[in-house]
Structures are given as structure tokens and as C-alpha cells.
């Protein structure tokens, strides 16, 4: 504890695909645009429930066991081809510096895949093959 961020501090679980660990994550924001209702001669509007959107989750320096990386890439390809338009639930777990203890957890509902990119490979490198991926949820809620 207190020695800096652990390499695999983020854990992403995607229904039907598996687990992905990553060193960097850009969490989605949630933006609400309220409806403005002006009553009579009032100068200020009454704010009502309007529309909202959730930005994409971007995971960088990700690694996955077994076929998880290929399954995510295939889901993106199939989604773009229109052969698998299934939306999936994902959980984003932020881990303590020890890389084991959960600190925060978010459920990303009705996600669609947005991006996949293999990162640079080096024949002299000893690390695992890494990739960057993106998901866009319809909604995000904090768990716990």
C-alpha cells in the first residue's frame, strides 16, 4: 500500500466474453440535458427531466486470458456487420494499489463495442500482448 498504482488496477467483466485487466481506464461521464419549462411571465424556467447520455469507456494497456481478446474483437466485427447486435452488460472494477482489493464498482448497462486496437508488439519484449478497447453503455450505475 502507498507504493503507487499497481499495473493491473482495472478489471472489466463483460457478459458472455470474460475478464480483461488494464492499467489505464477513461471512465464514462453521464450528461443530463434538462427540459426548460417557462410558466407564464416567469423569467427563470422550471427544470424537468430531460435526456441523458453516457460517454464511452476506454480501456488502455489491456490484457486478457485465453480467448477473451479475440471474443471482444469478434463481437465488434459482428456488431459492425450487423450479424450480432446484442448489447452486453459490463462491470468496471477499480482495484486498490495491491491489485486485489475492490475500491469502486460500476455496472455499464446495454453496452455496444466501439473500438479495438492491438498495441505495439516487440520481439524483444517480455510483457503480454496488450490492446485498447472501447465500450459505449446506455446507462452507468455505481454498485455498492
Supply the pLDDT for residue 4: 45
Domain interval for residue 112? 10-25+55-142
Cell numbers linked to 20: 480483461
Mean pLDDT of the chain: 88
Beta bridge mates, 60: 24
Rounded distance between C-alpha atoms, residue 31 and residue 46, angstroms: 19
The pLDDT value recorded for residue 98 is 80
2 confidence band (pLDDT: 50, 70, 90): very low
CATH number at residue 64: 2.30.110.20
pLDDT tens, position by position, 64-75 = 877 888 999 999
More confident site: 5 or 123: 123
Per the structure, the count of domains in the chain is 1
The answer to whether residue 42 is domain-embedded is: no
117 domain-assigned: yes
Task: State yes or no: pLDDT of 41 exceeds 80.
Answer: yes
pTM of the predicted model over 0.85: no
pLDDT reading at 29 higher than 60 = yes
Q: What Cα–Cα distance (Å) separates residue 122 from each residue in 64, 69, 139?
A: 18, 18, 38
Give the residue from 134, 138, 141 showing the smallest Cα distance to 26.
Answer: 134
Residue 112 belongs to a domain: yes
As to burial, measured by CB atoms within 10 angstroms (0-12 exposed, 13-18 middle, 19+ buried), residue 12 is buried
Amino acid at each position: 500500500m502507498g507504493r503507487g498504482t499497481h499495473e493491473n488496477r482495472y478489471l472489466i467483466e463483460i457478459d458472455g466474453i470474460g475478464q480483461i485487466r488494464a492499467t489505464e481506464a477513461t471512465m464514462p461521464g453521464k450528461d443530463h440535458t434538462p427540459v426548460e419549462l417557462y410558466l407564464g411571465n416567469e423569467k427563470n424556467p422550471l427544470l424537468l427531466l430531460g435526456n441523458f447520455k453516457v460517454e464511452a469507456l476506454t480501456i488502455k494497456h489491456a490484457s486478457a486470458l485465453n480467448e477473451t481478446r479475440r471474443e471482444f474483437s469478434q463481437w465488434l466485427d459482428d456488431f459492425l456487420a450487423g450479424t450480432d447486435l446484442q448489447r452486453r452488460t459490463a462491470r468496471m472494477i477499480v482495484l486498490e494499489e495491491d491489485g486485489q482489493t475492490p475500491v469502486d464498482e460500476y455496472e455499464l448497462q446495454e453496452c455496444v463495442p466501439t473500438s479495438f486496437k492491438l498495441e505495439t508488439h516487440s520481439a524483444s519484449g517480455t510483457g503480454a500482448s496488450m490492446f485498447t478497447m472501447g465500450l459505449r453503455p446506455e446507462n452507468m450505475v455505481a454498485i455498492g
